[in-house]
Amino acid sequence: MIQLTRAYFFSASHRLHVPQFSDEKNQALFGKCNNPHGHGHNYRVEICVKGEIDPMSGRVVDLAAMDSLVNDRVVKYFDHKYINQDMPEFKTLVATTEVLGEVIHERLSTVWPKDFPTLDKVGIQETKRNRFTIPSSK
Amino acid sequence: MFITRRAEFSASHICSNPALTTEQNLAVYGPAANANGHGHNFVLEVTLAGEPDPVTGMVYDLKDLKDIMNQEVVDPMDHRHLNYEVKPFDKVIPTTENLAVEIWKRLNPHFSSGPAKLYSIRLYETDDIFVDYRGGQ
C-alpha cells in the first residue's frame, strides 16, 4: 500500500455568512470574512489516493487520468467563481473552507472510477497557514 | 511520538517500461518517458516513531538519522541519473512510487533494533506531488 498526493489550484471568492444570524452576529463570528461583497483566495486542493503499485508501470495511479477528472470536477468548476453566488451547492451551505472541502470530496467520490486507486482523503488550503483534511472513511 | 527529518537530493530519471513501445510509454508516462531523462529536486522526509529517552530527552539522535539518510540516500543518489547509476533502477522503473519503496528498503534495516522505528517516508517529486510509504502498511 502506498499513498500519492497531488496538488491542484483554483482561484475563487467567497463570503462567510449565516443567513439565520443577525448582521452583528455574523460580523462578530466571521470578522472580515463576512465583509458584504466577499473576498478571494488561491485555493490549494490536495488529492490523496492509496493503492498498490502497478508492476507494469511502477505507478499507483495514472496521473493524466486523475488530472483530467480533478480538473473537470473541481478546478474548472470552481475557478474564477464567486462560490456563494455561482455554485448551486452553496445556495444553502456556508462557504467555509471546511464545507468547500466536503463538497469537493463529494464531487469526486460520486464519480470516482472503479479502476482508480482508493480516494483516501482531500486536503484544502485557502492560505498557507490553514489546512483542512477530509478523509474518505469517517 | 514522531520525529521527522528532511533531506534533499537532485537526480534525473526516465520513466518508461522497456516492454512497451515508445508510443505506449509516452501514452502512460507523458513527458516523463523522454528517452534522455529529466530531473527533479527530490525532497525526502523520514519519520521515526518512538518515545523520548528518559536521560537524553530524545527519541533518536538526529545527527545519527542525518548520517543514515546521507549514507543510504543522498550520497548515492544526489546528482546521479537513477536509471544508469543507482541500483535497482537498472531493472526497476524509477517512478517516485518505486523510489520511495527502495528508500524504505535501504533505511529500514538501520531501525530494526533501536530506540525508534521507521514509521513512514514521504518523497516529494515536486512541491505538488508526493508519495507516502509505510513499508506496505
Distance between CA atoms of residues A106 and A84, nearest Å: 18
Distance between CA atoms of residues B62 and B4, nearest Å: 9
Residue A71: predicted pLDDT? 98
Listed in sequence order, the residues at least 6 apart from B36 whose beta carbon sits closer than 8 Å to its beta carbon are: B14
Grid cell listed for A132:
483542512
Q: Which of A2, A62, A64 sits opposite B133 (nearest CB)?
A: A2
Residue A60: predicted pLDDT? 97
At B37, is the pLDDT very low, low, confident or very high (cuts 50, 70, 90)? confident
pLDDT > 80? residue B76: yes
Q: Are A57 and B96 in contact (CB < 8 Å)?
A: no
Question: Considering just the CA atoms, what is the radius of gyration of chain B in Å?
Answer: 16
Residue B77: predicted pLDDT? 96
Instruction: Calculate how close chain B gets to A93, using CA atoms only, in Å.
Output: 29
Instruction: Calculate how close chain A gets to B12, using CA atoms only, in Å.
Output: 16
Q: Would an 8 Å CB–CB cutoff place A36 in contact with chain B? A: no
Tell me the one-letter amino acid at A17.
H
Instruction: Calculate how close chain B gets to A3, using CA atoms only, in Å.
Output: 5
Q: Which chain B residues contact residue A53 at CB under 8 A?
A: 95, 97-98, 101
Residue B89: predicted pLDDT? 96
User: Which residues 1-60 of B have a C-beta within 8 angstroms of A?
Assistant: 15, 17, 19, 28-30
What are the domain boundaries of chain B? 2-133
Residue B137: predicted pLDDT? 83
Query: Closest residue of B to A46, CA-based?
Result: B128
pLDDT > 80? residue B62: yes
Residue A10: predicted pLDDT? 95
With b for 16 or more beta-carbon neighbours within 10 A and e for fewer, the A34-66 pattern comes to: beeebeebebbbbbbbbbebeeebbbbbbbeeb
Q: Which chain A residues contact residue B136 at CB under 8 A?
A: 1-2
SS in 3 state form for chain B? CEEEEEEEEEEEECCCCCCCCHHHHHHHHHHHHCCCCEEEEEEEEEEEEECCCCCCCCCCCHHHHHHHHHHHHHHHHCCEEHHHHCCCCCCCCCCHHHHHHHHHHHHHHHHCCCCEEEEEEEEEEECCEEEEECCCC
Q: Span B2-133: which CATH code? A: 3.30.479.10
| Low pLDDT (below 50) residues in chain A | none
Q: Which domains does chain A have, with CATH numbers?
A: 2-135 (3.30.479.10)
Grid cell listed for B33:
518517458
Residue A89: predicted pLDDT? 93
- Among B26, B28, B96, B97, most A C-beta atoms within 10 A, so best to mutate, is B97
pTM: 0.88
Residue B114: predicted pLDDT? 81
The maximal CA–CA distance of chain B, rounded, in angstroms, is: 60
What whole-number percentage of chain A has pLDDT above 70?
Answer: 100
Grid cell listed for A74:
473541481
**Catalytic residue set of A:** 33, 80, 126
For the segment B84-128, what is each residue's pLDDT rounded down to a tens digit? 999 999 999 999 999 999 999 999 999 998 889 999 999 999 999
Query: What average pLDDT does the structure give for chain B?
Result: 94
B71 or B25, higher pLDDT: B71
